[in-house]
Structure 1
């Protein structure tokens, strides 16, 4: 049998310790980055989370509350309604956008429905722009969602990156 030299034991222990320390520091770094990202996201959503809308069936109005310390503007509420006088069994439903424009800080704005007799109506959601210029939408089904500009949408970004590569290749080849 051949005599195999595995090196000395302190070198092996040092290598294993170094590898373990590297793995632990990588895990801790990932955890810290995740916590930081979550904190930044929460800070970004802070003002938007304080804007809400609800309907008041008795007064036939919609109220939008800005509980933040800064104005929100470009505010719209979305309403689904079904007019009276339609044939029985008709499911014709219309969606309307009602502008509120701006809601000052710590204020509730009220908008009355402009229709006389919709048979049924419901609030679908509210859309607005916060003081940092970010657009938000709060809907009854999705909750609070940031509306990205079209050029930041994930699919469009991938398509644009692909097109840049294709154009670079054509410039290089042609």
Structure 2
């Protein structure tokens, strides 16, 4: 029986170096692509304005209860599936208010959005908090109207789900495995775009 020839040490170092450089190149390409996507999404401006009487055609619209939500797309590509996240409602959640299917490049769209002046109870008044849209690569972006920041909406990952479950079990013990208890204890969450 003969010994197995594993090759020489320089060959192994060469193979490891080549693999490392390929992985580094792939990482740089992904990072640059995400940076380009973010730059493009940041060129979509969203803001709220008070409507004036001459801008609204319908006389039955109460100008105190609504605001103009303006979206100006200065990006090189159109944006799709625009919706406003309006809230908080009575359960401290945010509901989606559909705005438009597409805003083409270089155009501005104006939407009438509900806007409460005064709060009812302990919750702040219900008003548009963010605008959500999708770019050409099907990445969902959320523009926070209050903070003026842009966030990429990420899909929930297994690791974050497991971390939440572990925290829940460590806080409540064996009761955490009871589904009725989970539903009763589940509290309204903060908007996930404000992570």
TM-score by length of 1: 0.53
Match of 2:122 in 1: none
Distance 2:114 2:131 in 1: 17
Q: Which has the higher contact order (CA 8 A, sep 6+)?
A: 1
Distance 1:26 1:46 in 2: 30
**Unaligned regions of 5+ residues in structure 1, if any?**
1-13, 83-90, 156-174
Q: State how many pairs are aligned.
A: 127
Q: Does 1:63 align with 2:67?
A: no
Alignment of 1:20-39 (within 5 A): 20-39=13-32
Match of 1:73 in 2: 80
Distance 1:55 1:81 in 2: 17
What secondary structure is seen at the aligned counterpart in 2 of 1:106? coil
Match of 1:124 in 2: 129
Match of 2:180 in 1: none
- Aligned residues: CA RMSD: 3.5
Distance 2:93 2:20 in 1: 52
TM-score by length of 2: 0.49
- 2:12 pairs with one of 19, 31, 38: 19
Larger radius of gyration between Structure 1 and Structure 2: 1
Deviations 1:27-71 (A, max 9, x none): 212111111222333445554343232223x44322212111333
Q: Which has the higher strand share?
A: 1
